[in-house]
Each structure stands twice: as C-alpha cells, then as structure tokens.
A and B are shown apart, each in its own frame.
Chain A
Amino acid sequence: MKCLEKERENRFASMGEVAKTIETIRRAEPESERLPSNRRMIGLVAAAAALVIGVVVTWYLLTDRSSAGAPIRPSIAVIFLEDRSAGATQRELATGIADEIQTELSNIPGLQVISRNELSLFRDKPIGARELGKQLGVSYVLGGSVRAEGSRLRFICEVVQTEDGFNLWSQGFTHELKSTLDVQTDIAQQVALALKKKFAEKTAEQRLGLPANSLVRR
C-alpha cells in the first residue's frame, strides 16, 4: 500500500489525497455486496491496487458522494465564533465579526443566510456541523475562532458542508487591532469575497453538468 512506503516521499502526499482515493473505491464498491465473496475479494484487490498505484485520484471526486436530488439554493448559517484569547476578552469582537460576515453574506445573490435569532439557541453548545445542518436545514456552516495577542488579532474562518462534514473552504486572517469596527468590516468583506468566488465556481461546475453536487441536497 502506498501509505506504507518506507520513504515518506513515496507515500501519499496528504491525508486529503488518501480520503479522496478511499472515496473513489467506495463509489465502485456498492454493487460488489451482491457478488459472491471471491468476486468481492477481486474488487477489494483492485481497490487496494488502486491505493498502491495511487493514480485514481481524479479532480471531480472533490465533490461529495450524494446521489440524485433536486438542486436547491445553497444556505448557510454563520455560527458564533469562538474567542480563544487569554481570559476570553474578545467575545464582543467575535460576535461583531460574525454579525458583519452575516450581513455581507446576505448580499450574495442566491445564498440564503439563517438569521442570528435562529442561531442563538446554539450559542456555546458544542454541536457538529452535520448535526447543525440537520437541525437548521442549511447546506453550509461558517464558523471559526478569534484570538487576540498583544495588538494583533488572528481570525480563523472555515466553511463546512453539512451533508458530509467536509471542509469547503478555510482561511486565516491576521489584523492589527486598531479600530474594532474596521477589523470587523475588513474581515467580513474578505470572507464574503472569497466565498462568493467559491460558490461561483461551484455553480459554474454545476452548469457544465459536472457532479458539483455539494449544492444538492437529498
């Protein structure tokens, strides 16, 4: 197996690549359940061989594994950001950033944004994106954390697909903590811009008939 190469240079380059390869095998697998066991073994050997050679990674597998379904408008919930500063002194700023991002995102055409009111029930509760997706009926969850150190603010933002828990996009931002309002607006605009691009890519793929079905819900 390619994971078990002695020299690390010869292994898969990243765990993400491994995950994608496993997905490839999984797609090929379901029918083999009906086959007799030695036929299944052949399927398994083929699958293992695929792992060894590692050539099966195709770009379109970046998308998730949901099958058929009607496309709906993508929806997103901006959850409360975590304050990781010493003494948790930046809670207000964290809330402010989330509010700003919320506002910016609601300006993206075609994207539905869940209201803050709906979300307040989930504040400070450890809940996974998939579960949140189920409870709120959203296709994406945007979350992250802020940490202030001295005069600098570090903000990590990530968007997770609720259907499969995959990370769609994530980015870190570092800002000088001069004016709180500027920081909030600035970050929110950058996030909205990046996401707009990301969603546009997805939509384009969908129009071209590619299996960009992460905007598809069962």
Chain B
Amino acid sequence: MIGQTISHYQILEKLGEGGMGVVYKASDLKLNRTVALKFLPPQLTDDPSAKSRFLQEARTASTLDHVNIGTVYDVDEANGQMFIAMAYYEGETLGSRIRRARAEGLFVPVPEALDIAAQVAQGLAEAHRKEIIHRDIKSDNIVLTGDRVKIMDFGLAKLKDSPRYTQSGSLVGTLAYMSPEQIRGEPVDHRADIFSFGVLFYELLTGDLPFRAEHQAALTYAIAHSAPTPPRSPRGWS
C-alpha cells in the first residue's frame, strides 16, 4: 500500500487503524498538500443503501467549516474501496493525551482540560447549528494539534447502523460514551452528543470513564440505569 498512488493521492505512511478503517498519511498530487486518507472497511459500504447513506452523510459533514472540526476534503472510491480525504493534523489524540497523563499518575491540568472541553463544545455547537450530529464523540476522535482541538470523523458513526456491522472490540470502547437512547436503539438527536460530551469531559478531568463494567452487557446496563461512578482518587484527594 505504501508508495502506491490511489486516485490522485500518493500513500506515504500508515497512521493508524481502528474499527472504522485504516488511516494513511498521503500526498495530494493535484493540490500538493498532505492529507489523511481513511479507507473504510469494505463490509461497511458494500451494501448499496449503506453506501449511499454514507455518501450523503459525508457530504453533509464536509460542509462543516469550523476551527474545531477536522476538515473533510473529499469522499471517493478507488478499486471498490471508499475513502475519505481529510486535513492532516500533526498531533496526538485526546485519548492518548489522557492515557499519557494517567500512565504518569497525573491528570490533564485543569486549565488545559477546560480549554480542550471548551473547544470541543464550540465545534459541536457549530455542527448542531447546522443540524449535524456526530453520534460518536469520544476522546480518540479528538485530535490535539498545537493549541487547537479538532473533532474528527463527523458522519462516520451512522455507518454503524448498517445491519452487517459486527460489534467488534473497537465498538466496546465507543460504547462507553453512548447515550442511553443510543443504547436502546432509539432515534437520536443532538442531545446524544451532549451526553457523550459529558462522558468525555468526565474522562478529561478524572482520567477515568464514568461508566465502567467488566463486559459489554454490564456496561450497557450501567449507562442505562446507574449513576456515574464517583471519581476514583481525584486530584490530590484520597
């Protein structure tokens, strides 16, 4: 894959891999800029209705233009595989920032946490103004680049409604951020994002997730019925 040219993108290196596909750093040969290409797992888009739903969603998401939202340039298909061309941001995900702090027994400093939360909130507020719901807000979908925070993967979450999508391990991570109504499979509105943002904010301040359980079913139950876990040993208190 590396070194290959797909459409007018030359693949440079692999950046990561998740439940929603493989991400490569690539060079846009037409516009001479560095981009991130996300190749979607073929099983997500081989059903024509899922594919058209995805295209629709991605197009809507690409109309978002906000300093706290990762820019989507293009949605395309090559060799039967759908991919999204997005702005490439140098930086780490919020998830990795939180884990890094945790590994050192620390927390993300409060002013930094509030700054990050404020920027995520502003990005989401803008999307909601345009009636676009993210549906999959989580720390691994937030990229910290310099002093700017970017929300990534708008519109991708809808793919998960696709009946052929199997609940693999990657979904479990996402499940922890899901609102009770999403878990119940009900139609969602922007308030689902508000819930997920609450989970994210809790995680940002405490380093832990508010709803924790040994397995998926228990987690589902906790989100739907239990109060959030009180912070473990919060900043300087025991």
Q: In the bound complex, how far is the Cα of B73 from the Cα of A137, in angstroms? A: 27
Band of interface residues on B: 35 or more
Cross-chain contact B110 with A6 (CB below 8 angstroms): no
Q: Which of A38-46, A89-97, A180-188 contacts B (4 or more CB under 8 A)?
A: A38-46
Contacts of A38 in B (CB 8 A): 236-237
CB distance from A134 to the nearest CB of B (A): 12
Smallest CB gap from A167: residue in B: B126
Q: Do B202 and A4 touch (CB < 8 A)?
A: yes
Is the pair A29, B114 in contact by a Cβ cutoff of 8 Å? yes
**Cβ-based interface call for B57 (8 A):** no
Residues of A within 8 A of B115 (CB): 26
Q: Could you mark each residue 217-229 of chain B with 1 if its beta carbon is under 8 Å from any beta carbon of chain A, else 0?
A: 0000000110010
**Among A41, A84, A165, which residue has its beta carbon within 8 angstroms of that of B68?**
A165
Q: Which residues of chain B from 186 to 238 have any CB-CB distance to chain A below 8 Å in the complex?
A: 189-195, 197-199, 201-202, 205, 210, 224-225, 228, 234-237
Contact B235 A166 (CB under 8 A): no
Contacts of B129 in A (CB 8 A): 16, 167, 170
* Interface hits, B68-115 → A, CB 8 Å: 68, 71, 73, 87, 110-111, 114-115
A165 lies within 8 A of B195 (CB) = no
Shortest CB-to-CB span from A16 to chain B, Å, is 4
Does B179 sit at the interface, judged by CB under 8 A? yes
**Shortest Cβ distance from B150 into chain A, in angstroms?**
10
Whether the Cβ atoms of A4 and B210 lie closer than 8 Å is yes
- A84 in complex: contacting residue of B63, B67, B195, CB < 8 Å: B63
Inside 8 A of A19's CB, which chain B residues have their CB? 118, 121-122, 125
Contact residues in B for A145 (Cβ distance below 8 Å): 63
In the complex, chain A residues whose CB is within 8 Å of the CB of B235: 37, 40-41, 44
Once A4-B210, A15-B121, A15-B128 are accepted as A-B contacts, the answer to whether A30 and B111 lie under 8 Å apart by CB is yes
In the docked arrangement, what's the CA distance between A16 and B199, Å? Answer: 17
A41 touches B237 (CB 8 A): yes
A129 at the interface (CB under 8 A from B): yes
Q: How far is the CB of A12 from chain B (nearest CB, A)?
A: 6
A126 located at the interface, meaning its Cβ lies under 8 Å from any Cβ of chain B in the complex: yes
B124 within 8 A of A: yes
Residue B65 CB within 8 A of the other chain? yes
How near does chain B come to A209, taking the closest CB pair, in angstroms?
Answer: 26
Q: Would you give the shortest CB distance from B105 to chain A, in whole angstroms?
A: 13
Give the Cβ gap from A129 to chain B, nearest Cβ, in Å. 7
**What separation, in Å, do the CA atoms of A145 and B228 have in the docked complex?**
42
* Cβ-based interface call for A23 (8 A): yes
* Residue pair A18, B197 in contact (C-beta under 8 Å): yes
Closest-CB distance, B214 to chain A (whole angstroms):
21
B79 CB to nearest chain A CB (Å): 25
B180 part of interface (Cβ distance < 8 Å): yes
Most chain A Cβ neighbours within 10 Å, of B189, B191, B192, B205? B191
A175 at interface (Cβ–Cβ under 8 A)? no
Given A4-B228, A6-B224, A26-B115, CB of A14 within 8 Å of CB of B195 = no
User: What residues of B have a CB within 8 angstroms of the CB of A2 in the complex?
Assistant: 198
Asked if A33 is at the interface (CB within 8 A of a chain B CB), the reply is yes
Interface residues of B (CB under 8 A from A): 63, 65-68, 71, 73, 87, 110-111, 114-115, 117-118, 121-122, 124-126, 128-129, 179-181, 189-195, 197-199, 201-202, 205, 210, 224-225, 228, 234-237
Which 6 pairs from chain A and chain B are nearest by CB? A3-B198, A37-B236, A19-B121, A8-B191, A15-B125, A165-B67
